[in-house]
Chain A
Amino acid sequence: MSIRLLALIPVAAAISLALSAAVDAVALPLFLDTTGTILATALAGPGVGIATGVVTSAVNTLRNPTFWPFVVVQIIVALYAWAAARAGLFRSFRTAVPAGLGLGVIASVTSTPISYLVFGCTTTGGIALTTALGKALGLPPLGACFFGSFVSDFGDKAVTFALVTSVLHALPRRTAARFPWALRAIGAA
């Protein structure tokens, strides 16, 4: 791995963890905690993306330990983002947003069994509340757990994909060309 790609990993992981300040400012129910993973994958491929996801989970675990078991989700997000980058789905919002919605479904399907088996569906406040809502609607425990994950992940991943698309298009071509996958991800190579 080149030094530039090695330097990209902590920066991308820190982006995921620092974006909460921007989310707080606009008061939207979003996490954007996979932004760095998706961005690193779109710029530098699956190896860098997976490493970014693992590092993001490890560091986030020091703030909230319940994040660690969800490292699997970060790895799946990186693999999905790689497939999206290969297909050039970051070329416009029209292709990126549906891809993000697809990731939302996959991420919620992946995180539901972890959340259910390890934490009894109690991970973070927002998800626990939507899970409680699902339970109040008469869903079985696993169904309520999926409902909670789905509500939080579906929109979040679409916004994340749209944000990464914005970043990739806003990058100067000279900067983008320094990363092996950036131009291909936006369909420019």
Chain B
Amino acid sequence: MTGRRLHPFTLLAIAGALPALAWILPAPIGGACTAAVAFVLTLIPGARLTPGASPGFRGIGVSPGSRPGLVVFRTALLTAVPFWVFLRLLHDVPTTIAIGLRITTMVASFVWLAATLAPDRLVEATVARGWSVTAAYLFAATITAVPTLRDRARRIVEAQRCRGLSPRGSLGNRLRALRALALPLVLSALHDVDERALALETRGMVSGARRTPLAPPPDSAVERAARWALLAACVAALIWRFK
């Protein structure tokens, strides 16, 4: 089964359980095992990243023939490497390995999650479960709003440069330039709020209203059992570690 076909709750459960186990289990073996599992996940077909989704992803070597799994793997690796450098700068070798493996597990799990979790499927899954759609909406709406606002921010930066704004020089100059760049972005974003509110109202997004999912992602008994098993594993590891 590919990552994209797994139920969104299963993806969240896996991405949450792996870092939890990395911190609970004794270092460095526990962290090494969880990091290995997380990196194997990044190689599973179905995970794909969009440019800007993660700091390590630059779209290098992405061609129609390239394997998306390798891109996710490489992104996880490139994101994790700086942490090892800074850890070594601050700590001795055993501490660097212990903390580094935990952080690597966390990074690889979340890079994989970012590549496999489709926000619209998460909203559908939440609606299908009968939970409040608000939390899923907030998460999905933010994910979709960020690239839009980033593009707008870049356009504002270019427009202000065309008008002669110099973002260099003294600290005062830079702070004034920052104000000139940030203010239009924030104000224009706030003007979007009314439009979004109207769109939500027309789609019946009022509290207490029961919604019908259009295409709920299938949630098999095996996946439900797997999620409970992950939770049980974390609790058991916690009890074993601190008994």
Contacts and interface: CB of A to CB of B under 8 A. Distances in A.
Interface string B109-135: 111011000000000000000000010
A32 to B, nearest CB: 8
B138 A3 contact: no
B112 to A, nearest CB: 10
B53 interface: yes
B87 A122 contact: yes
B40 interface: no
Interface stretch (A8-16, A76-84, A106-114): A8-16
B67 interface: no
B229 interface: no
A1 B54 CA distance: 32
A72 interface: no
B187 A21 contact: no
B193 A62 contact: no
Interface string A136-168: 000001001000000000000001000100110
Chain A, interface SS category? helix
B149 A26 contact: no
Contacts of B90: 120-122, 128, 131-132, 135, 141, 144
B72 interface: no
A167 B183 CA distance: 6
B87 to A, nearest CB: 5
Contacts of B152: 18
Contacts of B182: 19, 22, 32, 35, 163
A61 interface: yes
A65 B103 CA distance: 8
Contacts of B110: 61-62, 65
Contacts of B79: 64
Contacts of A9: 138, 142
A189 interface: no
B187 A62 contact: no
Contacts, number: 184
B197 interface: yes
B71 interface: no
Given A163-B179, A166-B183, A170-B183, A22 B153 contact: yes
Given A3-B201, A3-B206, A65-B106, A21 B139 contact: no
Interface size class of B (residues with CB under 8 A): 35 or more
Contact of A22 (B23, B106, B185, B206): B185
Interface string B182-225: 11011101111110110011000111000000000000000000
Interface stretch (B29-37, B58-66, B167-175, B234-242): B167-175
Interface in A115-141: 118-122, 125, 128-129, 131-132, 135, 141
Given A6-B200, A27-B168, A64-B55, A171 B146 contact: no
A59 B87 contact: no
A26 B178 contact: yes
Contacts of A56: 142
B150 A18 contact: yes
A188 interface: no
Interface in A1-44: 1, 3-4, 6-11, 13-15, 17-23, 25-28, 30, 32, 35, 39
Interface of A: 1, 3-4, 6-11, 13-15, 17-23, 25-28, 30, 32, 35, 39, 51, 55-56, 58-59, 61-66, 118-122, 125, 128-129, 131-132, 135, 141, 144, 159, 163, 166-167, 170-171, 175, 178
Q: Which 6 pairs of residues, A with B, have the shortest CB-CB distance? A: A18-B149, A128-B86, A10-B141, A21-B153, A14-B145, A7-B196
Given A25-B181, A39-B186, 7 more contacts: A13-B145, A14-B149, A26-B181, A62-B114, A66-B103, A119-B99, A170-B187
